[in-house]
Chains A and B, each alone.
Chain A
Amino acid sequence: MSLQRPIVAIAAFAVIYAAVSLSITNSYYQLIMTLVLVWAIFGLSWNLLSGYTGLISFGHAAFFGIGAYTTALGQIYFDLSPWLSIPIAAMLGGVAGLLVGFPTFRLQGHYFALAMLAYPLAILYVFEWLGFQEMTLPIKRDNPIAYMQFSDPRVYTLLALVMLIGTILLTRTVERSRFGMALLAIKQNQAAAEAAGINTLAWKLRAISLSGAIAGAIGAFYAVVLLVVTPQSVFGMLVSAQALTVAMFGGVGTVWGPVIGSVILIPLAEILNAEAGTRFPGIQGVIFGLAIISVILLAPEGLFWKVRDIWRRRQLSQLSSEPRDVPATATVTQLPVSVRRDRAATPEDVILEVRNLSRSFGGLKAVQNVSFKLHRNEILGIIGPNGAGKTTLFNLLNGFLRPDTGEVLLEGQDVFARKPHELCEAGVARTFQIMRPFQRMSISDNVVVGAYVRAKTDAKARELAADAISRVGLSSIADRIAGELSTKELRLMELARALAGQPKILLLDETLAGLGHDEADEVVTVIQRLARDNITIAIIEHTMQAMVRLVDNFLVLDHGAVLLEGKPETVTCDTRVIEAYLGKKWVAHAAH
């Protein structure tokens, strides 16, 4: 996709919309033209937070209402012109975003959504109690333009259009930058994002603050257009619902979603209200509801994505009729597996030292007094039966869990109990047992998320990502969408994502799980190659065949404690290991 095409689309939309709204003479329809834009902008504001981070906000009316009351109270009590109060409302909205976000981001999923519900409603009752029941903006006859009061309502439409284009461009800039990438990563998997070096709280706060600022500004403008502000009309639950309705109807996580939703739904509702409202009060709500339900049943992710998916499929079917020479799948050149790695781990150069690390959950000692050293360029295999504490150990090492006691030294520096994104910056990267690719993004975009921790600029991040992709051998299919990849390709992509941040230590959690024999060999080859390129690796794996070929040393865990440490040859013959894995009966077998 070229960069110009969306810009052309935005310009075309603006020109057509302006032309249509200028040609309308009926003042009621003129108002609708303005309201469409108002709700589109509000939908975009909601989308910026909820669409990109996946944290659904039921409380965006809080910001909208703060904006609207800034205009109303500002003009009534301080004679403040909307030209000034709109920027002030944006600032207040941004600050409100921070104040709301800071405590509320501790919650996730449904809890976040429901907590957000409480803010605008609590404010609503306070405003009613303060006596701001119905605030009417005073008409300024002497100097209307200074107070944003125009006799021609089409001027409001044009102003709103300017604000909408500004919001679209802002959203697009965010979407294309590391900001947007960070938000998308949070949406897919907050834990994985932290592990990839993203300070999730900081980015979420930026998102809610920007979102609150946009909502504040458009709320302030809404007050100017309608001239009357009541607590229900700006803080009410229906206002928040409006934002999520237009965004979800049109499509979440894209700039066009809220615009499409608003352009279709708002005129529909308003016109129905005007045409049939007197005979059937509430008919617009019924039709509106029916429209929403039917669209969501046919296109549960919104119109935009549905249309795009159909479009893509048609293009693909056209393409497939032509001959193409893109490789269907990536194959990694397979090294003969009998070849041992030609470099040795340097025994005196300790990169990570863990001393007496412990963590318990209630009475369960998940990891107890684990000590080991990881030498530069070593591949350490961590094995042990299910529940031995292997993944917990990784979680302690990359910061997902806080250790209770112990010491962790990374190149001599104390990194005990740091946060995941800090540890990632320090050079600890990891992959996950359960893969969490960013489904709708290409391999390159997936990997770029991991690169930002080392890159100052977007260009540098792209470069690091491309390098990481070539190291795992996926360059030829880097533009493919993650949702279309095979398990092996996804595993390699996750590996590339971890590599893109140029880690010193790579923690691999069951990277070979779910792979066939040949596929596993390919991935093993890639890991071996990485180890040769100066990366120290700790790997959890159950496939002993692959492990014996791969690792320099084993660390055997059982019941959270170290059972044994040593070379593959010794470990595989040790009776305690056989017992821990297979039970006592097999020890006798092995002895014979």
Chain B
Amino acid sequence: MSQFIESFLQAMTAGLLIGAVYGLMCVGLGLIFGVMRVINFAHGDFMMLGMYAAFYLFTLAGVQSVFGNTVGPFVAILLAGPILAVFGYAIHALLISRVSGTKTASLEGEGHYAQLILTLGIALILQNGGLIVFGSVLASIRTPLSSSAWELGPFFDISIFVNRARGIDAIVSFATMILLTLLITRSRIGKSLRAAADNPTAATYMGIDVDRAHRTAFAIGTGVTAIAGGLLATNYPFHPFVGLDYVIVMYAGVVLGGMGSIIGAFWGGMTIGLVQQMSTIVLPTQLQNAAIFVVFLLIIFFRPQGFFGRMVERT
């Protein structure tokens, strides 16, 4: 019995820690989706770029030699965020803006077809270009923290071990999330983003440049997901095609939380992390991801607006 409780608590802890990072990852996509209503298939690949950016900042750009092995990775990860934000900004300005925002009125299906295929094209280029540039060897951002743990307890006779790298990942993730929430709720930029998301036409009348708001959202969303990617990379090795594995988790999280809700996306990602880790108690490891999809489908059927979303229907 106590063994079951122990593995249960251990799985839950693992789920909460990975969930915090998944949450941040989902927030990046959720921001883009919520503001622009664009399904961005390349988002997983933006995250992959974030992982490599952190990796090269750490190893080649000298972060390792300045900050050392323990702090260095996290400095590199946080630096990768702004770099990818600039990248996202450019991608939106050059490509995405051509088929989204105020340009889509004349297109069939409000430009959804064009957006999908465009982001698929970007995804293909990033994955395969990544293969050419980075090679197919697994990379990882190793820190000594990845192989050490804090021991919580013992409570009665149960102790829980928390991997130090994952623990710090979760803390960084929460901190980023809080900063982002402040940015969105308190700042002028945040207000224009929310206005553009809520009603683009009305926002335009109020003098908000909706296309610029979209570009800002795209940049911030890409940067945030890149940070989440870097955090994941401290524990999971990665390769140029890694985006494919995570893009599904991202969408599941965003839908779970309710499309358009930033906080919702975070808790959606958290739920995915918990489901993934907790399912290992009863299911074989290979079915971890199948469990995610089953939960995803169940929630989408019974509460399609997600935890925090709202449904608006108009005739």
A, B bound: yes
Contact A297 B99, CB 8 Å, known A248-B113, A432-B315: yes
Contacts of B287 in A (CB 8 A): 125-126, 129
Contact A301 B125, CB 8 Å, known A118-B252, A121-B293, A282-B132: no
Q: Which of A122, A237, A252 contacts B108 (CB 8 A)?
A: A252
Contact A293 B129, CB 8 Å, known A248-B116, A301-B107, A301-B114: no
Assess whether B93 is interfacial by the CB under 8 Å rule. Answer: no
Assess whether A78 is interfacial by the CB under 8 Å rule. Answer: no
Contacts of B120 in A (CB 8 A): 241, 244-245, 289, 292
Contacts of A191 in B (CB 8 A): 315
CB atoms of A110 and B259 under 8 A apart: yes
Assess whether B171 is interfacial by the CB under 8 Å rule. Answer: no
> Of residues 10 to 46 in B, which have CB atoms within 8 Å of A's CB atoms?
33, 37, 39, 41
Closest Cβ–Cβ distance, residue B142 to chain A (whole Å): 25
Q: Would you give the 0/1 interface string for B103-136, flagging 1 where the beta carbon is closer than 8 Å to chain A? A: 0000111011110111011111101111110001
Closest Cβ–Cβ distance, residue B173 to chain A (whole Å): 24
CB atoms of B284 and A129 under 8 A apart: yes
Closest Cβ–Cβ distance, residue B125 to chain A (whole Å): 4
Assess whether B83 is interfacial by the CB under 8 Å rule. Answer: no
Contact A237 B244, CB 8 Å, known A300-B107, A395-B315: yes
Contact A281 B127, CB 8 Å, known A244-B117, A297-B98: no
Assess whether A444 is interfacial by the CB under 8 Å rule. Answer: no
Assess whether A148 is interfacial by the CB under 8 Å rule. Answer: no
Contacts of B132 in A (CB 8 A): 280-283, 286
Residue of B130, B287, B288, B300 with most chain A CB atoms under a 10 A cut-off: B300
A281 CA to B136 CA, complexed, in Å: 9
Assess whether B251 is interfacial by the CB under 8 Å rule. Answer: yes
Q: Which of B117, B127, B289 contacts A125 (CB 8 A)?
A: B289
Q: Which of B111, B121, B248 contacts A121 (CB 8 A)?
A: B248
CB atoms of B122 and A293 under 8 A apart: yes
CB atoms of A285 and B244 under 8 A apart: no
A439 CA to B107 CA, complexed, in Å: 11
Inter-chain residue pair count (beta carbon < 8 A):
151
Assess whether A56 is interfacial by the CB under 8 Å rule. Answer: yes
Assess whether A147 is interfacial by the CB under 8 Å rule. Answer: no
CB atoms of B251 and A117 under 8 A apart: yes
CB atoms of B121 and A293 under 8 A apart: yes
Contacts of A588 in B (CB 8 A): none
CB atoms of A300 and B294 under 8 A apart: no
CB atoms of B95 and A289 under 8 A apart: no
Q: Which of B129, B255, B297, B315 contacts A391 (CB 8 A)?
A: B315
Contacts of B284 in A (CB 8 A): 129
Residue of A nearest to B290 (CB): A125
CB atoms of B290 and A129 under 8 A apart: yes
CB atoms of B121 and A296 under 8 A apart: yes
CB atoms of B129 and A245 under 8 A apart: no
CB atoms of B286 and A125 under 8 A apart: yes
Q: Which of B121, B289, B300 contacts A107 (CB 8 A)?
A: B300
Contacts of A15 in B (CB 8 A): none
Residue of B nearest to A129 (CB): B286
Residue of A103, A187, A293, A432 with most chain B CB atoms under a 10 A cut-off: A293
Contacts of B252 in A (CB 8 A): 118
CB atoms of A126 and B300 under 8 A apart: no
CB atoms of B95 and A297 under 8 A apart: yes
> Of residues 193 to 252 in A, which have CB atoms within 8 Å of B's CB atoms?
237, 241, 244-245, 248-249, 252
Contacts of A128 in B (CB 8 A): 286
Closest Cβ–Cβ distance, residue B236 to chain A (whole Å): 18
Closest Cβ–Cβ distance, residue A139 to chain B (whole Å): 30
CB atoms of A111 and B300 under 8 A apart: yes
Assess whether A290 is interfacial by the CB under 8 Å rule. Answer: yes
Residue of B nearest to A241 (CB): B120
CB atoms of B251 and A56 under 8 A apart: no
> Of residues 266 to 315 in B, which have CB atoms within 8 Å of A's CB atoms?
284, 286-290, 293-294, 296-297, 300-301, 304, 315
CB atoms of B109 and A54 under 8 A apart: yes
A313 CA to B35 CA, complexed, in Å: 37
Assess whether A517 is interfacial by the CB under 8 Å rule. Answer: no
Assess whether A284 is interfacial by the CB under 8 Å rule. Answer: yes
Contacts of A253 in B (CB 8 A): 108
CB atoms of A290 and B290 under 8 A apart: no
Residue of A nearest to B295 (CB): A118
CB atoms of A296 and B114 under 8 A apart: yes
CB atoms of A282 and B127 under 8 A apart: yes
CB atoms of A244 and B116 under 8 A apart: yes
Contact A281 B297, CB 8 Å, known A126-B290, A391-B315, A395-B315: no
Contacts of B131 in A (CB 8 A): 281-282, 285
Assess whether A354 is interfacial by the CB under 8 Å rule. Answer: no
Contacts of B248 in A (CB 8 A): 117-118, 121, 237
Assess whether A17 is interfacial by the CB under 8 Å rule. Answer: no
Contacts of B37 in A (CB 8 A): 110
Contacts of A119 in B (CB 8 A): 293, 297
Contacts of A248 in B (CB 8 A): 113-114, 116-117
Closest Cβ–Cβ distance, residue B119 to chain A (whole Å): 10
A54 CA to B109 CA, complexed, in Å: 7
A297 CA to B115 CA, complexed, in Å: 10
Closest Cβ–Cβ distance, residue B284 to chain A (whole Å): 6
CB atoms of B290 and A284 under 8 A apart: no
Closest Cβ–Cβ distance, residue A298 to chain B (whole Å): 10
A129 CA to B289 CA, complexed, in Å: 11
CB atoms of B289 and A289 under 8 A apart: no
Contacts of A22 in B (CB 8 A): none
Closest Cβ–Cβ distance, residue B93 to chain A (whole Å): 13
CB atoms of B286 and A288 under 8 A apart: no
Residue of B nearest to A302 (CB): B113
Residue of A117, A118, A252, A432 with most chain B CB atoms under a 10 A cut-off: A118
Residue of A nearest to B109 (CB): A54
Residue of A nearest to B126 (CB): A289
A292 CA to B118 CA, complexed, in Å: 7
A286 CA to B127 CA, complexed, in Å: 8
Closest Cβ–Cβ distance, residue B251 to chain A (whole Å): 5
CB atoms of A282 and B108 under 8 A apart: no
A290 CA to B120 CA, complexed, in Å: 10
Assess whether A263 is interfacial by the CB under 8 Å rule. Answer: no
A213 CA to B151 CA, complexed, in Å: 55
Contact A282 B118, CB 8 Å, known A122-B293, A297-B99: no
Assess whether A400 is interfacial by the CB under 8 Å rule. Answer: yes
A439 CA to B118 CA, complexed, in Å: 24
> Of residues 249 to 279 in A, which have CB atoms within 8 Å of B's CB atoms?
249, 252-253
Closest Cβ–Cβ distance, residue A252 to chain B (whole Å): 6
Would you mind naming 24 contact pairs between A and B with Cβ atoms under 8 Å apart?
A: A106-B301, A106-B304, A110-B259, A111-B304, A114-B255, A118-B248, A121-B289, A122-B293, A125-B288, A125-B290, A237-B244, A244-B120, A248-B117, A249-B117, A252-B109, A282-B132, A283-B128, A292-B118, A293-B95, A296-B114, A297-B95, A300-B111, A301-B108, A395-B315
Query: B: which residues have CB within 8 A of A?
Result: 33, 37, 39, 41, 95, 98-99, 107-109, 111-114, 116-118, 120-125, 127-132, 136, 240, 244, 248, 251-252, 255, 259, 284, 286-290, 293-294, 296-297, 300-301, 304, 315
**Given A286-B129, A293-B125, A300-B114, 12 extra CB contacts under 8 A:** A110-B39, A113-B39, A115-B300, A121-B293, A125-B288, A244-B117, A281-B131, A293-B122, A296-B121, A297-B95, A432-B315, A439-B108
Q: Which 8 A-B pairs have the closest CB atoms?
A: A285-B128, A282-B128, A289-B124, A282-B131, A289-B125, A292-B121, A300-B114, A122-B293
